[in-house]
Structure 1
Amino acid sequence: MSMRLECIETTSFRRGLGAVLGVLGLASCGVLPVNQGAPVAPVEPAPIHGEPPAAPAPIADPATGIPSGARLFKVGMDTLPGFAEDKLTDAWPGFLRGCERLATQATPAATAWREPCNAARALPVEEAALREFLLRRFDAYAVFTQDSKNEGLLTGYYEPILRASLTRRPPFVVPLYGPPDDLVSREQPATAGNPAARIRGRMVNGQLQPYFTRAELTPAGAPVHASLRGKEIAWVEDPVDAFFLQVQGSGKLLLQDPGPNQGKLVRIGFADMNGHPYKSIGRVLIERGELTRDNATAQSIKQWVRSNPRAGQALINENPSFIFFRLMPGTVDASVGPIGSLNVPLTEKRSVAIDPRFIPLGSLVWMSAMHWGRPINQLALAQDTGSAIKGEVRADYFWGAGDAAGEEAGRTRSVLRLWLIWPK
């Protein structure tokens, strides 16, 4: 993010929020400040032959036809860090799912990928065959910023799993809400220097006004706002977990209702938001001296809120952004990831959210970073986006679902290098 006020903006996993800045105000969908308490290990640079181009590449580079606003510099595929060691078969099912989606689109990226996608479907899913396919059919381009920098930021995100009930009964007393009836959204067309955007609010005397803030919708120590009454779609046990579910923008619910729903796993997805910007509660705690940057983790923030229930609710309400959910139809296959911006399920430890202005959605990328002393040098799938994921050399790494994935996502904050993998 799938997934950014909190995490996303469309119908996919990370879409839902518009921008998830992370609990410390960092540009991440991960809920921890990532790599705090451990130094950010430098990325070992991969070989780069020659110098980057002297002039910025235009949006549609006539030499390559690649729809990218980044400066792209062609390198040898076999010079990519870890190219000979990466287990490409782990990424291939997700890549083929992306191909199926691209086949239905009429974008420049989809057109470029049509032929190699058709060829990929006939390949044996074997390491040697896939590596040879990449070498033969694709070129690698080192991604540079407009000011000739080739290092950026890697963060992480995940899909929470919470115990829940479809009816209110102890201990499931914390509601998750669907969109209120008086929430209005409109598309604002792109203008010079400003991309298209969706504006949200409510109508007052025929005028669109800002929608209610989180504090107005769920005031501390007072009943919820009338707009939310009757909009409950599920109940969870913990208000802190409910808040962090909003930060991620999507998740899974393990139902505890008596009867046929007992133990059923369902997905809850982004439906809408109130349109207010995300404010980091972790940053607030640091500014107040309650936590330090070194010890402000998701766990420490949750512990502070739980240890200070009244002040904790007031703290949560300092974030004016509020996310509304919808229950997704059908029973969830626990092995299938949430839907990303490409409208295909995300692949654990392979899908990334990127800025589509620079990395075309649906393409392949090669990424190189260090994660707590371990290298991440691998093929990745550009299948998601997020409002906080901005810039040429920028990616948010999908770790999977559940607490273990959440731990890894929260620890992910490191120097990143990216290569765009594009058909010849």
Structure 2
Amino acid sequence: MKTRMSKAPRASSKSKAMTVFPRITPTLAIIATALVLVSCATPRAPMPVPPGPASASVPVRPEAAAQAPAVMRGKSRWVPVAWSELPGFESDALFEAWNAWLKSCERPGPAFAPLCGEVRRLSIATGDEQRAWMTRRLQPYRVETLQGQADGLLTSYYEPLFKASRQPGNGYAVPLYQPPAGLGGRKPWYTRQEIETLPEAQAALRGREIAWLADPVDAMSLHIQGSGRLAVTEADGVQRTVRVAFAGSNEQPFRSITQWLVDQGQGRMAAPWTESTKTWAAQNPQRVSQLLWSNPRYIFFREEALTEMDAAFGPRGAQGVPLTPGRSIAVDRESIPYGTPVWLASRGAAADLQKLVIAQDTGSAIIGAVRADYFAGTGPQAGELASRVNQPLRLWVLWPK
């Protein structure tokens, strides 16, 4: 579902240690995840991702070049390679990714629809059987920029989980809104500051409240991720958990509040950004509104019931299917189509990842050929991981032969 935000916003937008990227999924995550069913990857042998951006593309192996021609796809170039180029391919627990692949087969694109019957049958196969099928039916392509650079950037997003109340009061004073009537009639709609100060904007939103949060920084986190879960106390005192998903925006530009703090001379904020920002807000209560208004982008939500089955997955991404913790990524759809299986390799202080993932979401900050946003899961643990991931990346799309 992270802002993630306009198009098919993604389920969740970005929360980075330094600059918080919007990740809104028209759907739109926290990814009680258990870290997404443990989205963290098991440490593996070093992979061929250099510590910094490369100035040239990786040369194409002769045996790979003979298999298929390079493909130009929007902002990217796909270069055919041998399976041996994919770091960690022989050791990944593919069955974890198969759950995400099955979800994509609920809304497959034309290239993968013919394979979905086989994908479903292989859901109970062994890892070796799944690997053998992949090498037989798919061709790996290294994703590069049009200029031939194979190194890019990986960030991460998640689905937040916050306490909320159906009624304002007792410390709950920050509303989450459904879209106002006639939202599309005025583009862009009011800015964040105008929404909170202009009588006409407030009148348009009266009665559209879903619930109230206690902390404005938590509310901003939901706006950035694009969706989340609320442990809400109903008017009768009953407590239950619901999901709020992206339902629209004011179509104002996104501005990073952490970058605003840097511009104000605060220096780099420690991760996770929400906690460091809350600390700053507690020390500067008179400037909290100024901080929040620095991001004119405002997100509206819709409430969704959360069944026991839904709880294992994140919000729906731009592909229209629920995200799988640790196995779904957001991409630039002009470079990689939704539903495409992708081999991801990224090494950094936050995570060492070499694994099969599925492109199922997008986000306004996810732009470029070698660019991905990793869905970490739901809840605080996933949020901590997501706030720390900002590291080198290489991608290989796995396309039907």
Question: TM-score normalized by structure 1?
Answer: 0.79
1:382 counterpart = 2:381: no
CA contact (8 A) 1:28 1:156 kept: no
Q: What corresponds to 2:295 in structure 1? A: 319
Distance 2:8 2:74 in 1: 24
Shift, 1:339, TM fit: 0.4
Shift, 1:82, TM fit: 0.4
Quick check: which one's helix share is greater?
A: 2
Distance 1:340 1:97, change over 3 A: same
Shift, 1:405, TM fit: 0.4
Q: What corresponds to 2:32 in structure 1? A: none
Shift, 1:365, TM fit: 0.4
Q: Per-residue CA shift, 1:277-317, capped at 9, x if unaligned?
A: 01111111111112336678332112112332221122111
CA contact (8 A) 2:10 2:363 kept: no
* Helix, strand or coil at the partner of 2:107: helix
**Of 4, 8, 26, which aligns to 2:5?**
8
Unmatched 5+ residue regions in structure 1?
Answer: 32-41, 55-61, 103-109, 186-199, 202-209
**Of 233, 238, 241, which aligns to 1:265?**
241
* Helix, strand or coil at the partner of 1:362: coil
* Helix, strand or coil at the partner of 2:105: helix
1:137 counterpart = 2:137: yes
Mapping of 1:270-419 within 5 angstroms?
Answer: 270-292=246-268, 297-329=273-305, 331=307, 333-372=310-349, 374-419=351-396
**Of 70, 75, 78, which aligns to 2:84?**
78
Shift, 1:168, TM fit: 2.5
Mapping of 1:160-309 within 5 angstroms?
Answer: 160-184=160-184, 201=187, 210-219=188-197, 225-257=202-234, 259=236, 262-292=238-268, 297-309=273-285
Distance 1:314 1:293, change over 3 A: closer
* Helix, strand or coil at the partner of 1:101: coil
Distance 1:345 1:115, change over 3 A: same
1:117 counterpart = 2:116: yes
Distance 1:314 1:131 in 2: 53
Q: What corresponds to 1:207 in structure 2? A: none
CA contact (8 A) 2:158 2:383 kept: yes
CA contact (8 A) 2:17 2:271 kept: no
Q: How many residues align?
A: 370
Question: TM-score normalized by structure 2?
Answer: 0.83
Q: What corresponds to 1:97 in structure 2? A: 103
CA contact (8 A) 1:73 1:141 kept: yes
Q: Per-residue CA shift, 1:16-37, capped at 9, x if unaligned?
A: xxx7686854656499xxxxxx
Shift, 1:79, TM fit: 2.7
Distance 1:296 1:134, change over 3 A: closer
Q: Per-residue CA shift, 1:386-409, capped at 9, x if unaligned?
A: 111010000000000001100000
Q: Per-residue CA shift, 1:160-186, capped at 9, x if unaligned?
A: 01111222242323211111224225x
Shift, 1:421, TM fit: 0.5
Q: Per-residue CA shift, 1:19-61, capped at 9, x if unaligned?
A: 7686854656499xxxxxxxxxx9634986438999xxxxxxx
CA contact (8 A) 1:366 1:420 kept: yes
Unmatched 5+ residue regions in structure 2?
Answer: 30-45, 51-57
Distance 2:271 2:135 in 1: 45
Distance 2:15 2:382 in 1: 18
CA contact (8 A) 1:52 1:73 kept: no
